Structure formats: C-alpha cells, structure tokens
Amino acid sequence: MNRVLLLLSVLSIVSSIAVKHTIEAEGIRASFVEYGASITNLWVPDRNGTMTDVILGFEDAGTYSNNIWKPRYGPVVGRYANRIRNGTFTINKKTYHVPRNENGKDSLHGGTIGYDARNFILIKKTTTSVEFRLTDPDGFMGFPGTVKVSIKYTVRDGELHIEMRGNPDRDTPIMLSSHTYWNLDAFKNPATALITNHTLHLPRSTRRIGVDDILVPTGEIITNSDVVNNFTVPKQIGRDLYSAVDNCGKGCTGYDTAYIVDAGEGPVASLWSNYSGIRVDVRSNQPAFQVFTCTNMKDQIPLKSTQIDKYLGRKTVPKYGCVAMEVEGWIDAINHPEWPTESQIYNKTREYLLSASYHFQKI
C-alpha cells in the first residue's frame, strides 16, 4: 500500500469532530454522524403521539468510531454490501482480490475497512436534509477505480428518504445499503424486549437467494414455499423464528436471509408493532431485501438513554432484540452472471443509484 492509501486508511478509522447532526419535519426527527454516514437516532410518534426512537445506536457520537463491539449501527455499507465469495471477482478478464474478513473465507461489507468504518464529509445540511460525501480511491480494499460517493438523507411528513449515489472513473462493482437495526417498541414493551412481537410483511418476495453454511450464495434461487420463509402474508417474526434453523448459517437459529423483490408497485416490506402502534412501509428501487434478526447480540451493547425505561431495568440489547432490514442488490451477483438481475458493474457512463423511503404511520 502506498503512502497516500496508508494515510487514507488511517484517516478512515479516526472520527473527526464527533457530533450528531439533527434534521426534522412534521412527525419525524433524525440524527446522523459523519462516521459511516450513519443514522444514529430516528424519532417517530407512537399511537399516543409520544416521539419514540425506533433504531439502535450509541448515546455519544464519538462511540461510533471507538467501540469494542463493532455492530455496524446505522452506517452505509460498501463498496460492496453483504458477501463476496472467496473475496474475488473478475472484470474484463482480470481477477481482483478483496479482504476475506469473515470466516477467513469471504468478504463482508467491503472488507476490513468498509464504508461503515470510513469518515465521510458533511457537505450540506438544512433543517430537513443532510448530505455526506466520500472519495473511495482506486485500489483501496482491492477494488478497482476511484468512486465518488454521495449519501443524502431527507425527512418530510413522517417519512425518511435515502439516496445513495456512486460515480466511478472505470469499471467497478458497487452495491451499497443502509445497515440499520430496528425495534419499533424502543425496548419499552413490558412483555418483551425482543422483536418477536413485530409483524413483517414482504408482499413482493416469493423467492430468496440460496446460500451455503456461511451465507455465501450457491447460485440457487429458492421459492419461499416453506412456512418459515414465507412472509408474503403478514406474520409475527416470532411465529417461526425458532424454527428458522440454519437460516442464518450452519447451526444458527433466526433469519439472515436475502429475499428477492419481485417486480411490481407498492412497498417491498412493512414492519409494525401492535404494542407501540408504529408501522413503517419500505419502498426501494433495489431488487433484494435482507432480513437479519440480530442473532449476534449478547446483552453487551448498551441501550441509548432514549430507549431505557427505569422501571423495566433493561440496559443492553438482547439476542433477537432488533431486526435489520437492508435494501440492496442480489448478493454476490458479480460472481453469478447467469442470474437474471441487473449488472452490478458501474463506470463513467453508468452511475450507481439507491433510492429508499421509510414511511411511518400509526396503527
């Protein structure tokens, strides 16, 4: 690694001025930090009108770049989200190698220093929007070409909108996502701190991507005919959660599953809680939707003060205490040219664009 890239890698893991930037509109308020262009807080009204912080995060802005847990709380992940088999891919007959930072066998979320561990620059802020930028240099983490990335968050009348753009100077794979963990009860449901009571609906996902024991795609496309993976009809996450054995890796119980989004209109997903009365409808231009039920949480990471009820005594995030919902492309599609999905290779004449909206309402 040359001196410029070494300096960039050092700067990418050092937070600048650690402050939260807050934007708001009618019925919604959100905060962000430069580190990972991360969303840190998201307040929406529950059925009683009480503003409720429905995503996981850290109390202090500085903790995002300096914590021992590394949970990827609310950042942008990239240059290539999710997994790449063997950390390799080929473009124009040349094979590239990126760090195999998961299990020593595959690349996860862009390698050892992905976008979640890079310090973005805040370039614009209004009362209702923030925009961050990052220049990802040629060769960093093994990816070819320089990519100029912009991330814009906007709030408006009970809705959060995310726009992610990537402009490379030559052929390179790009797949970004927002890696946000949700608990619509904000851990204040006396009956449970888990998301087992949350109802999930994936109306346009009749199929999923088949994976091996370490969640790397095998190339198989599976129809969701089994009860465990069928969310085309709304059901509580807890109904089949404990039957979802091997869904999140060999011997793992829970969901870490990439559902394919069929063409059509309307939300790609809806999530709601009858306790808080909060519902979120997710719309996206992306062809896949990853569901992860926080199987890695071990009652170690502290809750934010906005999510602590002194009478319940909960202080940390338990296993199954949250769910990640990632809008993204078909995972590892760069190694599966036989798949009927759009190419994930972008260049000077082809811009990467992710658009997603999260619309909140009371039920």
Taking residue 70's Cβ as centre, other Cβ atoms within 10 Å add up to 9
Alpha helices in 101-175 (DSSP H): none
What length does the chain have? 363
Euclidean distance between CA atoms 20 and 29, whole angstroms = 12
Pull the structure tokens for residue 139: 């060769």
Euclidean distance between CA atoms 53 and 33, whole angstroms = 16
Catalytic residue among 34, 131, 326, 328: 326
**8-state DSSP, 265:** S
DSSP element (H, E) containing 6:
helix 3-12
Residue pair 74/182 in contact (Cβ under 8 Å)? The answer is no
Catalytic residue among 179, 198, 201, 359: 179
DSSP element (H, E) containing 279:
strand 278-284
97 is catalytic: no
DSSP element (H, E) containing 8:
helix 3-12
Q: What are the residues facing 247 on neighbouring strands?
A: 249
Euclidean distance between CA atoms 320 and 301, whole angstroms = 13
21 is catalytic: no
Surface-to-core class of residue 116, CB atoms within 10 Å of its CB (0-12 exposed, 13-18 middle, 19+ buried):
buried
Euclidean distance between CA atoms 151 and 333, whole angstroms = 23
Query: Which of the residues are catalytic?
Result: 179, 326
